[in-house]
Structure 1
Amino acid sequence: MRSIARGLGLGSAAMALTALTALAWPGTAGAAPSGAQSLYAPSALVLTVTAGPDAATGTVLRAVTLACAPKPGGTHPSPAAACREVRAAGAKLDPLAAPASRAACTREWNPMTVTADGVWQGKRVQYSYTFGNPCGLRNTTGILFHF
């Protein structure tokens, strides 16, 4: 502590400790670094529904945002429920996009593609699933793509 106190031009170790605490303690006025990190890993997704078998070449029909950390938000109609669902699935989205077993859909080919693109708990997510027709999308087991 002596070398730090001398380097700062302070006379006692107690003064040095007070100065270091003021510089290092987050939340001290003017002392926090400008790029302070959040306590939560980022979890935000852009969700889309596209007409066609490929999201890159299809027509985007709807798009919403879903932010889950530090609290649920975004333009998704049910952000809290969707965040709980993704958290419970461990960010594995296939079970959330799968059509329900009770769904009775025709076999017409009118593909609808859903995508999720963003970051989940600090890790990059790129997800795409193509339904055979809108009925499959309406009857998914999860709420994530119901918007």
Structure 2
Amino acid sequence: MRYLRSTRAATAFAAATGLAFVGTALTGSAYAEPAKPASLYPPSAIVLTLGQGESAATASVRRAVTLDCAPLPGGSHPSPAAACAELAAAGGDLGLLTAIPGNRPCTREWDPVTVTADGVWEGRRISWSATYGNACEMRSRVAEGAVFSF
């Protein structure tokens, strides 16, 4: 079988045989190039919220930001590069970022605060939340990092 090397030859062949190349882009050959992926990076985009209440389902959202990490850090988060670096170091596991107990003294008042993270990390769907007894306790656990500093 002979391959058609130019648009002119393909057109002449089609006219001579009565065939039509409908919907085919001819770019130097009779074969279209394969589709290319939109990006080399899997998506990483997360919505982070801070709410007043005992659970993610019932908390009144007080603050929310977006965090995009791939291909470049961005979003409405105040420190996207630092937050993305922390998430990358933790392998996207937000629980690791808050697993160490804080050393800040806090009162024992019950005024619950819930933080959430919902979105996609390196192509995987994530949904995470944590509830703290009060804002002081929450800051004690997450204040060292950039992810929840918004």
TM-score range, shorter chain: 0.7 to 0.9
**More helix by proportion, 1 or 2?**
1
CA distance in 2, matches of 1:60, 1:90: 26
* Aligned residue in 2 for 1:109: 110
Q: 1:99 to 1:109 in 2, by over 3 A?
A: farther
Does residue 55 (structure 1) correspond to residue 52 (structure 2)? The answer is: no
TM-score by length of 2: 0.76
CA distance in 1, matches of 2:91, 2:82: 14
* Aligned residue in 2 for 1:125: 126
Residue number among 6, 18, 33 corresponding to 1:24 in the alignment = 33
Q: Could you report, residue by residue, the CA deviation over 1:11-52 in whole angstroms, capped at 9, with x for unpaired residues?
A: 9xxxxxx73599427xxxxxxx5x842111000000000100
CA distance in 1, matches of 2:30, 2:92: 39
Does residue 70 (structure 1) correspond to residue 79 (structure 2)? The answer is: no
- Do the aligned residues in 2 keep the contact of 1:42 with 1:120 (CA within 8 Å)? yes
Q: 1:105 to 1:41 in 2, by over 3 A?
A: same
TM-score by length of 1: 0.77
* Aligned residue in 2 for 1:5: 4
Does residue 142 (structure 1) correspond to residue 150 (structure 2)? The answer is: no
Q: 1:98 to 1:23 in 2, by over 3 A?
A: same
Q: 1:55 to 1:112 in 2, by over 3 A?
A: same
Please give the secondary structure, in 2, of the residue aligned with 1:19.
coil
CA distance in 2, matches of 1:124, 1:146: 22
Q: Percent identity?
A: 51
Compute the displacement of 1:103 (Å).
Answer: 1.6
Q: 1:19 to 1:108 in 2, by over 3 A?
A: same
Specify every segment of 5 or more residues in structure 1 that has no aligned partner in the other structure, as ranges. Answer: 12-17, 26-32
Please give the secondary structure, in 2, of the residue aligned with 1:70.
coil
CA distance in 1, matches of 2:43, 2:117: 15
- Do the aligned residues in 2 keep the contact of 1:97 with 1:145 (CA within 8 Å)? no
CA distance in 2, matches of 1:106, 1:83: 32
Amino acid at match of 1:129: A
